[in-house]
């Protein structure tokens, strides 16, 4: 079954064709094409996504992006209606004017090609990025004890620019939100921290790059000679940021205080510009500590068989590495999945992948019912 996926929730115009096959409890999802037109360079000058600008760009880009996705998958416009089984589109959460561009395009193509539509929750899409190539060894780590399929109950930490959520999954389409952020999302916190330090946009990769400099001992040596030896700790540099809500008796998060703590720390330090890597390192580590601690606690409480990461922040190398290490030592019986890097940030392959499992359940969305839901909840 081949599905065309469309994703325009924020500032990426994306289309993909994914082929799903099922045999018993096993399935394979093959990405035949995955085209993304990024608007990062346009929004960079404003320091964030400008919704009106994003929407106009989607309108310009959507048809060429879909055309490329079809061609790359070996389909033509003339034959697409016969070769595809459905069109999937992200319906929310996201920016209303951005989402509309994708939804109206999906409706029109569905009408013209007489194909069923599948509306997909954007977060569900991020979760299903883990199911792409899930059977391959490279995707699953710590997976010696599992068979080649993702086992439930699973827990997913979704960390993106708009969301930080811990979700438990008891089967395809069966979700329960265990906790979420009370204020800023983890990615948003990275973006704001980057803005405070003036290191670039988008903030996540920029902060991560600065933090990586701190981790290189040469940098520490040159910059902190008096203190420095290979064991120099951030505490010796007197940079210590809080780990918000790390010991709270629930699975909620809060990152806006962390960003404020960073701002106060920078305000107090006349020489902060010379120490950006160490501030970035401490900030990143504070976010990582909270995310890992709470996820592992939830996994232990609910006897989880599989832990998955999802969303743009899961592209963070240190987060991926430290998660792997902690799971190995603290809950070795759990399998751990992280999406391939190209499927962590917004893309349409993840939307088509999620849609494949809806299609198996014959869960299609009539075109009259498909609509934008900016604050869509996972159901």
Positions touching Zn ion (CB under 5 A) are 160, 346
- DSSP 8-state secondary structure symbol assigned to residue 139: T
Task: Report if residue 102 touches ligand KG4, rule: CB under 6 A.
Answer: no
Whole-number minimum distance, CB 191 to ligand KG4, in Å? 5
* Subset of residues 172 to 231 that bind ligand KG4, contact rule: CB under 6 A: 187-188, 190-191, 202-205, 208
* Subset of residues 40 to 79 that bind ligand KG4, contact rule: CB under 6 A: none
Our CB check for ligand KG4 shows the closer of 70 and 287 to be 287
Whole-number minimum distance, CB 268 to Zn ion, in Å? 35
> Residue 316 touches which of ligand KG4, Zn ion, none (CB < 5 to 8 A by kind)?
ligand KG4
Work out which of 3, 4, 6, 10 binds ligand KG4, going by CB under 6 A.
Answer: 10
CA distances to 12, 125, 302 from 69, in Å? 14, 18, 40
Rounded CA-CA distance 118/370 in Å is 8
Rounded CA-CA distance 236/43 in Å is 38
Work out which of 6, 311, 337, 356 binds ligand KG4, going by CB under 6 A.
Answer: 311
* Subset of residues 145 to 174 that bind ligand KG4, contact rule: CB under 6 A: 160-162
Residue located via tokens 């609910």: 302
Our CB check for ligand KG4 shows the closer of 57 and 188 to be 188
* Subset of residues 341 to 360 that bind ligand KG4, contact rule: CB under 6 A: 345-346
Our CB check for Zn ion shows the closer of 158 and 285 to be 158
> Residue 307 touches which of ligand KG4, Zn ion, none (CB < 5 to 8 A by kind)?
none
Long-range (24+ apart) CB contacts under 8 A made by 131-139 are 131/27, 131/29, 131/353, 131/357, 132/18, 132/29, 132/31, 132/339, 132/340, 132/343, 132/349, 132/350, 132/353, 133/29, 133/340, 134/29, 134/337, 135/26, 135/27, 135/28, 139/337, 139/338, 139/339, 139/340
CA distances to 83, 123, 206, 218, 228 from 126, in Å? 26, 5, 22, 37, 41
Work out which of 69, 313, 351, 353 binds ligand KG4, going by CB under 6 A.
Answer: 313
Q: What share of the chain is helix, strand, coil (3-state, %, to 5)?
A: 45, 20, 35
Task: Give how many residues touch ligand KG4 by CB under 6 A.
Answer: 20
Judged by the rule CB under 6 A, the positions of this chain that interact with ligand KG4 are 10, 160-162, 187-188, 190-191, 202-205, 208, 311-313, 315-316, 345-346
């Amino acid at each position: 079954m081949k599905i065309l996926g469309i994703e325009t929730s924020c500032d990426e115009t994306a289309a993909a064709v994914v082929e799903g096959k099922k045999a018993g409890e096993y399935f394979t999802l093959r990405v035949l094409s995955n085209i993304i037109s990024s608007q990062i360079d346009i929004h960079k000058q404003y320091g964030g996504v400008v919704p009106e600008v994003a929407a106009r760009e989607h309108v310009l880009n959507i048809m060429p992006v879909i055309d490329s996705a079809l061609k790359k998958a070996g389909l033509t416009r003339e034959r697409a209606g016969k070769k595809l089984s459905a069109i999937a589109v992200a319906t929310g959460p996201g920016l209303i004017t951005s989402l509309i561009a994708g939804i109206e395009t999906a409706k029109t193509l569905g009408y013209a090609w007489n194909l069923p539509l599948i509306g997909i929750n954007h977060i569900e899409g991020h979760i299903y990025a883990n199911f792409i190539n899930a059977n391959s060894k490279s995707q699953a780590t710590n997976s010696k004890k599992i068979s080649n399929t993702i086992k439930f109950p699973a827990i997913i930490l979704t960390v993106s620019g708009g969301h930080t959520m811990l979700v438990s999954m008891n089967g395809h389409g069966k979700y329960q939100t265990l906790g979420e952020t009370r204020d800023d999302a983890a990615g948003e916190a990275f973006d704001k921290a980057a803005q405070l330090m003036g290191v670039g946009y988008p903030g996540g990769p920029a902060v991560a790059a600065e933090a990586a400099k701190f981790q290189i001992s040469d940098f520490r040596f040159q910059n902190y000679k008096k203190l420095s030896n290979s064991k120099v700790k951030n505490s010796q540099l007197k940079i210590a940021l809080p780990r918000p809500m790390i010991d709270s008796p629930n699975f909620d998060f809060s990152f806006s205080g962390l960003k404020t703590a960073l701002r106060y720390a920078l305000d107090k330090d006349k020489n902060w510009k010379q120490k950006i890597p160490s501030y970035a390192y401490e900030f990143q580590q504070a976010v990582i500590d909270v995310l890992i601690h709470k996820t592992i606690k939830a996994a232990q409480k609910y006897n989880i068989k599989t832990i998955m990461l999802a969303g743009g922040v899961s592209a963070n190398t240190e987060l991926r590495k430290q998660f792997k290490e902690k799971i190995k030592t603290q809950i070795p019986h759990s399998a751990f999945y992280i999406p391939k890097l190209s499927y962590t940030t917004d893309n349409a392959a993840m939307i088509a992948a999620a849609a494949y499992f809806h299609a198996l359940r014959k869960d299609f969305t009539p075109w009259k019912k498909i609509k934008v839901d900016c604050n869509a909840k996972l159901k």
